Every structure is written in structure tokens, then in C-alpha cells.
Amino acid sequence: MTSQKVWLGFARTGGRLYLDLDELHPGIDLMGSGADDVAAVLAFACREAGLKVLVLDLNGRASGKISGYFESRGFGYFLYDAMRLEQKASFHAELAASAYTMALNLSFEQEGFLNSAIQSIALEEGVASPASLTDQLNLAGEFRGHTADELKGKLGALKSLNLTGEAEVVEKMMEKCSLALFASAESQQAAEVAMMLFLSKVLALGASGVALPDVLIINEANRVFSNLPLTRHSNRLLIALLSSRMGRIFSSEATYGLDHHFLETAPVRILSSAICNEASEGRSPVGGLHSPQHFPHSSTVTSALILTPNMFLLHDSARGLEEVFVPRWFEVSSTIPETQEPPQKDDRQLVKQILEIASSYSDATRASIVSYLSLENSREEVERAIDRLQSQGYVMVVGTDVKRDSPLRSVRLTKSGYDLMRSLGD
């Protein structure tokens, strides 16, 4: 890390307001109207200070301001790599299960189903896509009942998450200041799942020894950190994030219904003028946000001042510090992020070979097909082709009734797979 400080804005009492690097870890919460704009300011300022910054942009607002300063990619560029279970595959599988669970609001039992299914995929270093997970859950005798059917239905709603993009691009994005854009997903839920899977990949790479970014910024984080009536899952991914070496910044313009994990895991908060003004008047517009457990030492700054709309309050509970400030200005620079994968070479012959092997050998597994075809093709191309065929419904993984500790999971053609094989043979 650099020794420079992060220039946030101008203090009410005069002069520039800086953040020390240790204030970025374990984290900062930005809340209220204008929080996403302050997140963009922090992203620019951290980059200016020489830090490696990774921005996960759920709603596209950060991209509209800072994409020109960062290597900016749409989720179609890196989604395939985010789902690949390679580095620390078993650990990554746990994080991916937690990612699906948090984004889809699943129960602890459904998280257990997912973890079991993804661990099976991890054994072959496969891809934790919704299609491959559905195949695993459909294996005879393993997952039945209403809970499993509900889970399959939620995964079925994510068919828009096609396996697009290149392999090994997430690690490349971690090497420099990067912005990952998810706003182009077909639904908000798909964007949230894609974002959480990307984050699980980052943490898995970090656990395998890859250098993590200095700072992680997530805007509109309330979409995945919303308050639930009961604790229904393990929050394994959040625990891994808070245990990592990354400084983290969560931004939420919507302050109602935030999960207590969002509110209680950051000693530093930056609050909008609207929140401060309503709190100073004795009102609590955000469902208990200003209760004593959240602000045990309210100072005269917030009680005596009425802030103008361009002002924010920095509240550092660890140091007992409060400072009113105006965010700094910077010149907006935006580009159109690259959203699609580069053109792929024609792999119809490879696809035909995969389909023919799967149709001819009942015990053909993913690993055996990859091993055989890698003699004449690159391993990555073969794996990618199998993953794409499975995602598009041409092949599926089925369990075979064999007496062994780890039942064989073979690749079989679906009806559309046979139709595709015949069309390629013409």
C-alpha cells in the first residue's frame, strides 16, 4: 500500500478532509441520498492515492462517472470466469453457495443443498452456473421435497446468466484499478447473483495467494444486505470478506431495511444531510438507524447543525470523531465498458466430438471427455465448450447407479443435444 492519504473533500471547519488508509479497513458505510456519488468520489480518490481499487457497480451510477479512469468491464466479459471453480475449489464452492444464498434469500437448508451440489462440481473443477447446479440437484434420490423444488425454481429464473466471457479475467482485473458493471443484466436478481459470484471468485483467488485489491467498493449494497425477519443462512461470504485484507466501502442510498451486518461491521459511516437533519430533529426516518446502539455518543455537531444538501457527516466510532464535509469535485470521465466476450473461433467440430462421445459412452464424464479431447485441443477450449453446452441445455449431468463412495456422474445428451448433433453431422 501507498503511504499517501485519501482526499475525501473539504471540512466544514476549513481545509481538506483526508482519510487514513486504516480507516478503509475494516470498512466504511455510505448511507442516504447521494451515497453513490460519494462512493464514486472515494473510488477516484483511492486511485489517485495509488491504491488498487475494485468497484462493483450494481446500478451503473459509478460507471457513468469514473469508468474512464478504470479498466471497465460489463458482466458478460467475466461471468464465465466468475463461475469457474479452479483455485481453492472446495473453499470457492462454499463461497459460491453463500453468494447464491445471500442474493436469492435462501434458507440455511437450501444453502446446504447448494453447497453439496457445488462441491460435486468442484471435484471436477467445473462451473457453478445455474444450469449445472440444477443438473446436480436433479440427480436421482439426492434432493427432493418442497424445499429442493423451491430452490430449483429460483435457479431456473436465472437462465439469462449465460456463460459468456473469457477465462482468467477476474485475476487480471484484480491486478489494476477496475470497475465491474452489472447493470446490463436482464433482471435485478440476475445482477445481484452475478455480483456476489464475482465477489466469491475474488475471495477464492485471494485465498490461493493472488494479491487482493487494496479497496473494494460496492454501490447499492442494500440490494444484497437487506434486513430479514430471521437469520436464515451462514453469511460465510460476508465473514470471508470482513476477514480479508481489503478495505471495503458499502454504499446505500436506500436506508430502510438494511441488514444489521451492513450497519455494524464498519466503524466509519458517512451520512447524508437528510439523515443528519432528521436525526437532529428527533425523527428516525430509517427504521431505528439512529437508535442508541447505532449512535451511542451523539455529539452537538449533529444536534445543533442543519446541514445543506451538499454536506455529509463523517462519523468514526473507533476514534470518537465527527466531521461535516463537502465532497471534493473531480472531472467526470466515462467510457462504454466492454460487455461482451471477444469473438470466439469456430468450435463446431469440437462441439460435434463432445456430443458424439457423450452419446456413444454411457459412462463418459466431464473429466474423461476433457482428458481425451485435450490431446488435440487446448484444455480450456474443451472445458468451455462443455460448460456452454450444459448451460444451453444440450447436455446434462446424471448420476449412475454404481456401488462406490463417489457415484459416477456422467454427461448425457438431451433431446435438443441429439438434434444439434444431427444438424452438425449434415
Highest mean pLDDT out of 103-107, 209-213, 275-279, 348-352? 209-213
Q: Is the pLDDT of residue 8 over 60?
A: yes
Q: What's the whole-number mean pLDDT along residues 52-63?
A: 93
- Prediction pTM value: 0.84
Q: What's the whole-number mean pLDDT along residues 283-290?
A: 45
Q: Is the pLDDT of residue 102 over 70?
A: yes
d(CA 194, CA 188): 10
Q: Which residue has the higher pLDDT, 4 or 354?
A: 354
Q: Is the pLDDT of residue 143 over 80?
A: no
Does domain 344-426 fall into CATH 1.10.10.10?
yes
Q: Where are the domains of the chain?
A: 1-343, 344-426
Q: Can you count the helices (H) and strands (E) in the chain? A: 17, 13
Give CA separation, 324 vs 37, 268, 302, 318, in Å.
16, 13, 9, 17
Residue 425's contacts (CB-CB under 8 Å, 6 or more residues apart) are 352
Residue 283 has what pLDDT?
53
Taking only the tens place, the pLDDT of each residue in 304-338 is: 578 888 999 998 887 778 899 999 999 998 887 76
Q: Is the pLDDT of residue 229 over 80?
A: no
Residue 65 has what pLDDT?
93
CATH number of 1-343: 3.40.50.300
Taking only the tens place, the pLDDT of each residue in 295-308 is: 444 443 444 578 88
The percentage of the chain sitting over the pLDDT mark of 90, rounded to a whole number, equals 32
d(CA 68, CA 46): 15
Other Cβ atoms within 10 Å of 402 Cβ, number: 10
Write the DSSP symbol of residue 288. Answer: S
pLDDT, the chain, mean: 82
